[in-house]
Amino acid sequence: MNIRRYPFLLCALAFCFFQTYTAAEDVSAPPSLIAEMLFLDKELSSKKPNTLSPTDIIASPDGKTLYIAQHTGKRIDYINIATNQISRTIQLPKAPTGLTLSKDGSLLYVTCYSEERPLGVFCIINTAAGTITNTITAGHSPRSPVLSPDEKTLYICNQYLNSIAVFDLTSLMQSAAIPVVREPYAAAITPDGQYLVAANYLPTGRSDIPSMELEVTISAAVSIINTTTKEVVSIELSDGSHSLADIAISTDGKFAYVTHVLARYTIPPTTIERGWINSNGFSVIDIYNKKMVNVILLDDMDKGAANPWSIHVADDLILVTAAGGHELITVKESTLHQQLVGQDDLSYKFTFAQAFKQRIRLNVKGPRSVCMTGGKAYVPGYFSDNIDIISFNQGSGTVSGNVNMNPGIVRTNAQKGEELFYDGSICMQNWQTCHSCHPLTRTDGLNWDLLNDGEGNPKNDKSLLMSHFTPPSMVSGVRDSAEIAVRAGIQYILFSTPREEDAVLIDEFLKNLRPVPSPFLVNGRLSESAQRGMALFNGKFKCNDCHSAPLYTDKKLHDLGTKGPVDQRSAFDTPTLIETWRTAPYLHDGRYNTLKELFKDGKHGIYIPITDQEIDDLVEYNNSL
């Protein structure tokens, strides 16, 4: 029997397993991990994937070696620049998420993450010997390691802890954790070491206000941290900025450049031309005066530069990878700053950088990193396991070579679907990808007025985790299934004709998503507060009547009296609560910034008195799922 044809049987088996498992399991077991058995591997294939997925690249100071962080390969590869061959491979304990080198090139610092405990570590590699000398626990979701100029301190972004970890490299102990805004994804430090600048991936705050007050800005922020006092100043970017993927310091050390998507969320997505839904670029931040300077669009009038990702500064060039467009885009740095003087808001001006910008079409797929050494840029393809070499002549670049790191690459259908999810070529004029509105398959923290439920009633963007197992789709339940929603998204949001073979692959990718273990868990278990919250959830307040395990949804629409001033209906889909901790803001229109605000308001099914302690315990439990 081909079990792939009987999805109901998979769910039935999973439910039986759930009943057996929970009967014997301690009540403090994290429900999000229990629910994972629903995400069975749908692809019954004898071939195992051997992908590498290069996620970061850095060059040695002498320009002889490239170090490549291979994410799914869980290794570091050395590339000999003279021969363009892999000269050494170092296996890592977990998947690498970022690299940095000591000034002399003798030590390589690598952040790593996996769902096995400890969730995150960083490794110190002796580059000459090719050995890992130390492996240090680094907290939840570490990435983007940054060395201080004196090389005594290592800063690490703990994305899901919303903080920057500070490590003393003499003792190899964490000395501080600096809170920042939301999901620090990348960081860079000024040459004098005075300021660390961190890119927060997503916006924070309620998302329903712009539907009534258009002057209110909803944007992700850049955090400027004084490394001595640990004081943090947050700088909001242009309205709609999110997915802040990378950050670099200018040649003179005075400015930071941060890549991001620029969402036009305040208008219905009725067309896609000229960046009507999403534009792509990088923002310029004045570090020492702590202010936003302007945003530079990388798109052309009739062609988007989907998903700007990595950014690097060298030889008077700002190099940006358009990961969804499979391009390297260069901007002449000195000319940029000359032209910026006296400019007003550039967030809609596609022609501003036209004269000093170059778009270079790459052979690699999904470029998420770039480095430059010896007058050449090296750009790995996350989905193609190869590296394009770009040579420059008087600032103009051309692809001059390619290094194939994985000639026998084998990918599953889910991995092929992942590539399509991040691919702008399936979108009209390359403006965006599925990732543009659902960054990293989750939420962008914004409200969108999609026309599938009528115009004038914006709804909060949903995470796609478990979407194929929790129909109906969309907040208002207007799509009967996620399969229908995927095809509608290609047609009405990417403005292209859906190819069934592509949609099936995207379905496969989304079905195989796994929840990230909650940072609220204590040693992988529910805290005492969360255990009290679970008892309230299943008992006094009967939350499980609608949010029933293991999916934490009854897959029905309910009217709980939460209809807003612009809503055209009163019943909304019951969302899964798994990964609630990372999907703020809350409710169908994003009117609550925190779960505590939602429970305190008393408009979400809690009709009996609730104490502050009970609210805290319910919040802790929900955040642990």
Q: CA distances (Å), 551 to each of 7, 424, 470, 548, 579, in order?
A: 15, 32, 8, 7, 11
**What is the percent of the chain with per-residue pLDDT over 70, rounded to a whole number?**
92
Residue position matching structure tokens 């969320």? 265
Instruction: Report pLDDT for 354.
Output: 95
Those residues of the chain that have pLDDT short of 70 are 1-47, 210-215
Instruction: Report pLDDT for 46.
Output: 46
Strands 278-286 and 107-113: unpaired
Q: Are 362 and 394 in contact (CB under 8 A)?
A: no
Q: How many residues does the chain have?
A: 625
Query: What is the tens place of the pLDDT at every residue in 163-188?
Result: 999 999 999 999 999 999 999 999 99
Specify the 3-state DSSP secondary structure of 241.
strand
Strand partners, 388: 379, 402
Please say whether the structural domain 3-40+462-624 has been given the CATH code 1.10.10.10: no
Q: How many CA atoms lie within 13 A of 418 on its CB side?
A: 16
The two most distant CA atoms of the chain are separated, in Å, by 72
Backbone angles phi, psi at 552, to 5 degrees: 60, 40
Measured distance CA(242)–CA(117) in Å, rounded? 30
Q: How is residue 258 annotated by DSSP?
A: E
Query: What is the tens place of the pLDDT at every residue in 434-470?
Result: 999 999 999 999 999 998 888 899 999 999 999 999 9
Q: CA distances (Å), 80 to each of 22, 63, 87, 189, in order?
A: 52, 10, 6, 28
Structure tokens that stand for 203 in this block: 């916006």
Contacts of 484 (CB under 8 A, 6+ apart): 473
Structure tokens that stand for 196 in this block: 């660390």
The separation between the first and the last C-alpha atoms of the chain, rounded to the nearest angstrom, is 34
Instruction: Report pLDDT for 28.
Output: 62
How many CB atoms within 10 Å of residue 158?
25
Measured distance CA(123)–CA(100) in Å, rounded? 11
Instruction: Report pLDDT for 158.
Output: 97
E strands, 81-162, are 85-91, 95-101, 107-113, 120-126, 131-137, 142-147, 153-158
Shortest CA distance to 390 belongs to which of 490, 312, 470?
312
Specify the 3-state DSSP secondary structure of 501.
helix
Question: Side chain identity at 323, as an amino acid letter?
Answer: A
E strands, 127-240, are 131-137, 142-147, 153-158, 163-168, 173-179, 184-189, 195-200, 221-226, 232-236
Torsion over CA: 19, 20, 26, 30 (sign): negative
Q: How far is CA 56 from the centre of its chain?
A: 15
Q: How far is CA 112 from the centre of its chain?
A: 16
Shortest CA distance to 165 belongs to which of 218, 122, 222?
122
Backbone angles phi, psi at 29, to 5 degrees: -60, 135
Q: Are 106 and 147 in contact (CB under 8 A)?
A: no
What b/e string do you get for 507-528 counting C-beta neighbours within 10 Å, with b at 16 or more? Answer: bbbbbbbebbbbbbbeeeebbe
Measured distance CA(350)–CA(7) in Å, rounded? 47
Q: Are 110 and 118 in contact (CB under 8 A)?
A: no
Shortest CA distance to 424 belongs to which of 279, 298, 307?
307
Q: What is the pTM of this model?
A: 0.93
Q: Does residue 471 have a cis bond before it (omega within 30 degrees)?
A: no
Shortest CA distance to 434 belongs to which of 329, 350, 507, 501?
507
Q: Is 144 left (phi over 0), alpha (psi -120 to 50) or beta?
A: left
